[in-house]
Amino acid sequence: MRISFDLDDTLISYHPGALHEPVRTGWLARLWRGEPLRLGAAALLTELAREHELWIYTTSHRHPRAVWWWLRGYGVRVRYVVNQDRHERAYGRQGRSKNPAGFGIDLHVDDSWGVWLENRFERNVCVVLPDDHTWADKVRDAVARVLRREAPAEPPDLPAEYR
């Protein structure tokens, strides 16, 4: 299964009260000094990478190689990085901000309810909020649901304006 993760406010969190992975001191981690990886992300991504293909899908313009090396500094290997440039080459500037299904992604993890709304018919977006300390469990549950080919119920924390 191919699983992608957003970066800002999903894997990288500047949210007040957010907990972060310990800062790595190796030369790989120095490439992105100052980008705080969310606590639990390294373990979750390593766990998922044992059985699944991991991608990054972000609307930032960070260079894919820099993202790959930064995560490598935490012991995480990702197969591919879709940044805003790659997204626009595939889909232009019109339409969805992200199109996971268009890249063959089975599950995308993001902090944006807007991304969920844009892709609600494919039912392939798991929303994890920056202040949610149980986010890794939500991702594991979403992975299990996709593997069982279950249709998701409406998320319990879905804001009223998206119903």
Closest C-alpha among 117, 81, 111, 110 to residue 96: 117
pLDDT of amino acid 111: 95
pLDDT exceeding 90 applies to what percent of the chain? 67
The CATH number assigned to the domain with range 2-162 reads 3.40.50.1000
Specify whether the CB–CB gap between 54 and 48 falls below 8 A: yes
CA distance 39 to 128: 13
Residue 133 phi, psi (nearest 5): -80, -5
Q: Report how far residue 55's alpha carbon sits from residue 37's, in angstroms, rounded to the nearest whole number.
A: 16
Residue boundaries of the structural domains of the chain: 2-162
* Mean pLDDT of all residues in 14-26: 73
26 pLDDT tier (thresholds 50, 70, 90): low
**Cβ atoms < 10 Å from Cβ of 144:** 10
Q: What is the average per-residue pLDDT within 59-65?
A: 96
pLDDT of residue 18: 75
Residue 7, pLDDT > 90, answer yes
56 within 8 A of 81, measured Cβ to Cβ: yes
For 14, other C-beta atoms within 10 Å of its C-beta total 11
| Distance from C-alpha of 36 to C-alpha of 15, rounded to nearest angstrom | 10
Dist. CA 72–CA 106, nearest whole Å:
23
Token output for 150: 């279950």
